[in-house]
Amino acid sequence: MTEALRPVFAPWNDPDEKPLIQFKNVTKRFGDFTAIDDLTIDIFEREFFALLGPSGCGKTTLMRMLAGFATPTEGTILLSGQDIAPIPPNKRAVNMMFQSYALFPHLSVWENIAFGLKREGIKGDALNSRVDEMLRLTRLERFARRKPHQISGGQRQRVALARSLAKAPKLLLLDEPLGALDKKLRQDTQFELMDIQEKTGTTFVIVTHDQEEAMTVASRIAVMDEGRMIQVDTPARIYEAPNTVYVADFIGDVNIIEGRAIPSGEHVQIAWGEGVSDITGTTDKSFDNGEKVHFAIRPEKVSVSVEKPDDTPNAFQGKVLDIAYLGNLSTYHVEMPNGQIIKTQSANTRRLSRRAITWDDTVWISFTATAGVLLKG
């Protein structure tokens, strides 16, 4: 199939699609503490669904309820339309890849992978061929006879993945699967995970606190906070169109500017302090005159220049406070006359020695009317 003919994978937009997992008004309390607060969400087959949030936001509790190690206090969870509350963990068509892997230290790699299959009564050639297939999938053939303590962290991660995929579950849960790996290995492994997910066609639900990881692997991300899902959307929409200040701030770097809205035709003007002209933005939300508004704009969407740029609705003069050189990128912190500091980011397409802007220079920052997002509250 060519790229153009391939249909966009977005079952959540298709009203005829039946979800694999349905959370219906699920609440989970531990004593006084509400870990999950009246949560309703559908997850579809073949999705790579990421639960993203700070520690204590309820993402792990959500996953443990899917695995069967916790039961909801209220509400129901359906798997292929069936209520899973009465089904114990060992009878669910759900497998889990545990944080720090939980490999059986007394069993070899091969036996670890075969563990779940043997419990189903698979033996002989069927067992051998399935385990070998898993070993091939995770490129572990050479380590089959080793014990978990005799292989590296990255290999252990792959054993854990192979073990949890061996039974071909309908749903695979991954609890911080890459947390124990160093950064470089983590990036490689992310692509490997996506590859394996695509090959096996399994639905993956991943728990992570690493937003970059969620952005890379997921088809949809649920940003969670205090037991609630703040926004559930594709990585691009989460990044470009966050629905709250919390989401905008949690994902990536962002400038949050507080101001008052002044609707004018199809644009909204934002008054954001003394000594600066209003920001012009666009939105599909309706704002009252003088309503409090947060304007969120990503640093890479703000450009910085010595001369005042033409034909842009938003151009403001400020002073360079800080420059951070990141190799491929440079970040400038520009102080506005009203004291607000705006971060800008630009690619270093020129050699450093020819850079025109330095500390304490007066510069112009500019962005288009559609570059930022207007958020209520």
Partner 1 sequence: MRRFALIAIPYFWLLALFLVPFAIVFKISLSDIALSIPPYLPQLELAKGWEGFTKFLGALDFENFEFLMMDDLYYKAYLSSLKIAAISTFLTLLIGYPIAYAMTRASEEWRPTLLMLVILPFWTSFLIRVYAWIGILGQEGFLNQTLMFLGLTSDPLIILNTPIAVYIGIVYTYLPFMVLPIYSALEKLDDRLLEAAEDLGCSRIKAFWLVTFPLSRGGIIAGCFLVFIPTLGEFVIPSLLGGSNTLMIGKVLWDEFFSNRDWPLASAVAVILLLILIIPIILFQRNEQKQRESEG
Q: Which residues bind partner 1 (CB under 8 A)?
A: 67-69, 88-91, 94-96, 98-100, 102-106, 115-116, 119-120, 147, 149, 163-164, 167
Whose Cβ is closer to partner 1: residue 118's or residue 199's?
118
Nearest distance from C-beta of residue 132 to partner 1, angstroms: 18
- Say how far apart CA 89 and CA 119 lie, in whole Å: 13
- Say how far apart CA 264 and CA 78 lie, in whole Å: 47
Q: Which two tokens stand for residue 181?
A: 């790996």
DSSP state of 370: T
Nearest distance from C-beta of residue 102 to partner 1, angstroms: 4
Nearest distance from C-beta of residue 59 to partner 1, angstroms: 17
319 phi, psi to nearest 5 deg: -120, 135
Nearest distance from C-beta of residue 194 to partner 1, angstroms: 23
Q: Which two tokens stand for residue 49?
A: 């669904």
Nearest distance from C-beta of residue 236 to partner 1, angstroms: 33
> DSSP string spanning 256-289?
EEEEEEEEETTEEEEE-STTSPPEEE--SS---T
Q: Which two tokens stand for residue 9?
A: 């994978």
- Say how far apart CA 168 and CA 145 lie, in whole Å: 23
Whose Cβ is closer to partner 1: residue 95's or residue 219's?
95
Nearest distance from C-beta of residue 104 to partner 1, angstroms: 6
Which residue reads 């190799």 in tokens? Answer: 327
Residues in a beta bridge with 87: none
| Whether the Cβ atoms of residue 206 and residue 58 lie closer than 8 Å to each other | no
Q: Which two tokens stand for residue 343?
A: 């971060």
- Say how far apart CA 50 and CA 218 lie, in whole Å: 6
232-263 b/e (C-beta count within 10 Å ≥ 16 → b): bbbbeebbeebbbbbbbebbeebbebebbbbe
Nearest distance from C-beta of residue 222 to partner 1, angstroms: 22
Whose Cβ is closer to partner 1: residue 120's or residue 258's?
120
| Terminal alpha carbon distance of the chain | 46
Nearest distance from C-beta of residue 270 to partner 1, angstroms: 50
Spatial strand order in the sheet of 48-52: 94-97, 171-175, 203-208, 48-52, 220-225, 228-233
Nearest distance from C-beta of residue 146 to partner 1, angstroms: 12
> DSSP string spanning 8-46?
P--GGG-TTPPPSEEEEEEEEEETTEEEEEEEEEEE-TT
Nearest distance from C-beta of residue 116 to partner 1, angstroms: 3
Which residue reads 């008052």 in tokens? Answer: 260
Whose Cβ is closer to partner 1: residue 119's or residue 142's?
119
